[in-house]
Structure 1
Amino acid sequence: MNQTKKTLLLVDDDSAHRTMLKAHLGSEGYEIIEAVDGDVAVHLARERHVDLVLLDLKMQRMDGLEALAEIHKHKPELTVIIITAFSSVENAVEAMKQGAFDYVTKPVDSDALSLTVKRALDFKSLQQENSTLKQRLGEKFDLGNLIGSSQPMQELAETLALVAPADATVLITGESGTGKELVAGAVHHNSQRKDAPFIKVNCAALHENLLESELFGHEKGAFTGAAEQRKGRFELADKGTLFLDEIGDMSLTTQAKILRVLQEGEFERLGGAKTIKVDVRMLAATHKNLEQMAEEGSFRQDLFFRLSVVPLHLPPLRERPMDIPALAEHFLKRYCDKNRKDIRSFESEALEALLAYAWPGNIRELENAIERAVILCLEEQILLQHLPVQVRQSYADNSERPFAIRPGLTLKDMEKELILSTLRQTDNNRTRAAEILGITRQTLQNKLKEYGLT
């Protein structure tokens, strides 16, 4: 790794010690700026480009803790490593609480110092890359309520960012409750049609005749009860987007009419003779295997190919367990706000149970479980007893706890714990661990590096 462009600010009032550290770090290709005391370091950090600060705790004019606070007041993103005598480790830990990245003890071990500096710079680089990516995604694509940092969700976000601005038909597949409607909404709201109507139809909820009337509209007297003319969803969606949910439940007759609209952009209302032209982008979703249905003859093959110009698949929640904590926190906040409750977090056993359960109903089932828990909870934490019986039973039956969540863990801590426990389960087989976690092997490697576990 070429370090020549990295600049370190070395702060120590002991000139001999400073000279020794400068010689070692300089030999590794770093550019070194020296400061003889904390007040000088604060000035240099403000005025010069610095990638990392090595800051001694004990100095005469301004000690390390005070200098750390002043440096972060002006440059909160600047990485700082504390240098301390072994007897002052408590102060070094206090410095870490105040934002220092890590500390090294005197007498400084050269190899340990090199490793700590490299780890700090690698972590800073990763933070900058993540920040840049988030900014670019934020500028180009609004994910709305699509939540998750797992590899499948990252890949989905990247694909959506490319697909949404185009005008292609999109087929969204996945089990019930995986969030297909949210994906459709994200496509529309990031498309050129975002200011036009977004119309949704659940094809499974309506009988064939009612569905045709709903989609294409009807003229007065077209059938018993048709007391007046009514526009269908295609007309209402003109210049916008029409989302057909559970399109696999549609009859072959209705499928033929949908195909005509896709190919020619026209149709007639039920009971009408006038051909109506529309400009509609169509999105469709199903939990069924349309390709197999097309082979069996229960779904039109030509319509299947027209719909699946851009296929998007949503993985079930059990294949992306790393997203469960973030989703649970999201739903906790939503239903606390809705029910005017002040529940701060999940008790450790409750979180373990959420992570251990397979969630056959996917995100929808998780959301319902959290809403129920919020309603039942009278404490400041969601407890195991507040979760549905099937979640508690699954937890009780799982005698081998794949991970252990301790009170006070952050979401980052939980992610680290989940990675470590999965590696233990797989005897440190990183390829298998990545598959279980729903991420690529490279992403797992990056996570391990981020947490200093390499």
Structure 2
Amino acid sequence: MSIHDTFGQPLLTFPELDKSPLSIRAKALVFVDPRSRQLREELELLAPLALPVLIRGETGTGKELLARQIHRASDRAGLFVSVNCAAISPTYADAELFGYSAGAYSGTASSRAGWFGSANGGTLYLDEIADLPLAIQVKLLAALENREVIRVGAQQPNPVDVRLVAASSIDLGEAVSAGKFHERLYHYLREGHLELPALRDRVGDILPLAEYFVGIYSPRLNLPVPLISDAAQRVLELHSWPGNTRELENVIHFALLVSSGEEILPEHLNLPTPLQALASQLDQLCLRAVASERSALQHLLEQALLRINA
């Protein structure tokens, strides 16, 4: 059965992104696992509302694609503008976000609208919003609440109509407690909150995503579309995926290269075997356990490995 038939339309693709010459990665979200289906229901409820959205999720989980789907499912006719806050220089963050007037800087003969101006009537996506300087966070909140921005060097504000979707791989509540994130901005963003689970926590999405990546990359590599063997499927499902969807994409791309388009086997994945993966997970459990529990867990692990090897 195709993954397209398993749950409504569990595979969401973004073909508009593939038209960009800079687009080299596959672009899709999968909603097969029960946790993902719940997330999609929450997304569909939030998307039409005039609320900001905060997406929390580990690196590589697909937060930007989730933000794009929010924009696509809304009624906002303007552009979706994506900004990586970690890549903005603190010196020029004000001008990058809110724009500047002519003459604000040496050699600037014309004005610039900034990312806010570019997203007017649409959606502004701020990835890793916690990387913005605190002073810029204050100005960001004022722009959102007052629906206007003051460009660097300007005297009068410019009206803007922007929906903010922000994302973070860290707990912003903890960042507020540590004095590293503006508390009022945090509460403003919390009006709409989505938690994007790590790939290891939505195992039902792993094989559909792997199948999608196989279908995308096989033609790009001029290879026939191979099957993923049952043994390879088990390896994929047992891996902990610290790099999430991005890591899975890289693993499948590598497997296609070394398998030459034939059936994908466990050795093509370059991942730990199921036994090694289980041992690694138990090792991590032992490390997290208190001293009184650690020796007992290690003994149980050794006994289990002896039985399996026997």
Shift, 1:378, TM fit: 1.2
Q: 1:317 to 1:399 in 2, by over 3 A?
A: closer
1:344 aligns with 2:226: yes
- One-letter code aligned to 1:260: A
Aligned pairs (5 A) from 1:300-315:
300-315=182-197
Shift, 1:287, TM fit: 0.5
2:54 aligned residue: 171
Q: Is the 8 A contact 1:142 1:186 kept in 2?
A: no
TM-score w.r.t. the length of structure 2 is: 0.78
**Aligned equivalent of 1:267, options 143, 149, 159:** 149
Q: Which moved more, 1:214-223 or 1:363-372?
A: 214-223
Shift, 1:219, TM fit: 2.3
Partners of 1:183 and 1:334 in 2: CA distance: 20
1:320 aligned residue: 202
1:198 aligned residue: 80
Quick one: percent identity of the two aligned structures? 38
Partners of 1:275 and 1:149 in 2: CA distance: 46
Superimposed CA distance per residue, residues 39-97 of structure 1 (whole angstroms, 9 cap, x where no aligned partner): xxxxxxxxxxxxxxxxxxxxxxxxxxxxxxxxxxxxxxxxxxxxxxxxxxxxxxxxxxx
**Aligned equivalent of 2:130, options 231, 236, 248:** 248
Listed as ranges, the gaps of 5+ residues in structure 2 are 14-27, 280-310
Aligned pairs (5 A) from 1:399-414:
none
1:162 aligned residue: 45
2:105 aligned residue: 223
Q: Is the 8 A contact 1:143 1:157 kept in 2?
A: no
Q: How many residues align?
A: 262
1:364 aligned residue: 246
Aligned pairs (5 A) from 1:122-161:
134=8, 143-144=12-13, 145-161=28-44
**Aligned equivalent of 1:387, options 246, 269, 293:** 269
1:257 aligned residue: 139
Q: Is the 8 A contact 1:148 1:326 kept in 2?
A: no
Q: 1:171 to 1:399 in 2, by over 3 A?
A: closer
Q: 1:394 to 1:206 in 2, by over 3 A?
A: farther
Shift, 1:396, TM fit: 5.6
Superimposed CA distance per residue, residues 152-206 of structure 1 (whole angstroms, 9 cap, x where no aligned partner): 111111111111111110000011111111110110001011x321111010112
Partners of 1:307 and 1:349 in 2: CA distance: 44
Q: 1:309 to 1:271 in 2, by over 3 A?
A: same
Shift, 1:223, TM fit: 2.8
Partners of 2:277 and 2:60 in 1: CA distance: 24
1:397 aligns with 2:276: yes
User: RMSD of the alignment, in Å?
Assistant: 2.3
TM-score w.r.t. the length of structure 1 is: 0.54
- One-letter code aligned to 2:215: K
Higher relative contact order (CA 8 A, sep 6+): 2
